[in-house]
Amino acid sequence: MGYIDDNLTVDEHIVYRAKLHWTTLLGPTLLAFLAILWIPSKGFSAVVLLFIAALWGISSSFSLKTSEFIVTNKRVLIQKGFLRKKSYEFLLTKIEGIEVYQPILGRMLNFGKIVIRGTGGTRHSLRLAKNPLEFRKRVQEQINPA
């Protein structure tokens, strides 16, 4: 059981669970590929870039594995990070709106940015979220049950 599962209230159950998209690893992978190509001509500079790509890749892998975005019948819970864990909570009654931003590549690969707007001007965004339209749909279903 994870952090969020351990912090559910009485009569609260998970409706939808989302994660980060695999494209989180795209940046470090591209940097590593370029560094490997440049090793013959750039030498030490390319090795430094390769080291940076490895650190970035490890960090992104941890983010990919440890980040969770949960919709329950009462709240939206967000937990990100491993060493510096951050958690956010939005009561469904306090959510004013959810925006989804998807570039062309995001629509093709099914990822995007979700911005949750709460009452009182609070905002929180989730970058590179997997299946953002489904996340928004599940939140709206809980706010306005049929």
Q: Tell me how crowded residue 4 is: count the other CB atoms within 10 A of its CB.
A: 19
- pLDDT tens by residue, 119-141: 888 888 889 999 999 999 999 99
Per-residue pLDDT averaged across 28-37, rounded? 93
- Sequence ranges of the chain with CATH classification 2.30.29: 14-21+71-143
Q: What is the pLDDT of residues 39-96, one digit of tens each?
A: 888 788 889 999 999 999 999 999 899 898 999 999 999 988 777 888 889 999 999 9
pLDDT at 45: 87
Say yes or no to pLDDT of 1 above 60: no
Q: Which fold has domain 14-21+71-143?
A: PH-domain like (2.30.29)
The sign of the CA dihedral 105, 131, 26, 77 is: positive
Identify the pLDDT of residue 23: 92
d(CA 34, CA 20): 24
